[in-house]
Amino acid sequence: MVTSQHEASHRVFQDRPELLGPVFRILGVPLPPKLAVDVLNSDVTEMRPVERRIDSVLHITPSEGKPFLLGIEAQGRKSAEKAASWTYYLGYLTAKYQ
């Protein structure tokens, strides 16, 4: 259930983007002195299936330490688009397998 505290903790930046400056300073993240902030649609629902596949996903269980997943993609050449694909893959695998 969405609470008013939850809504306020992110909507404040939609209504008052100038508050990002102090928050970024506290976090130690550089923020340009002048910037434009636009609020975008936050719905990330996909209405049509989009095919995305990792060439291989292996679950590795070492004799010592924690198990982990290994994603393998065979690349014949550098691809600038792959960075976005890997971001999606990592998000998906984390959500699915924790």
> Which amino acid is located at 63 in the chain?
S
For the stretch 31-52, pLDDT in tens is 888 888 888 888 878 888 888 8
pLDDT, position 96:
92
pLDDT reported for residue 54: 92
Looking at residue 93, what is its pLDDT? Answer: 93
pTM attached to this predicted model: 0.60
Can you spell out the DSSP letters for 10-75? HHHHHH-GGGHHHHHHHHT----SS------------SS------SEEEEE--SSS--EEEEE---
Helix, strand, or coil (residue 83): helix
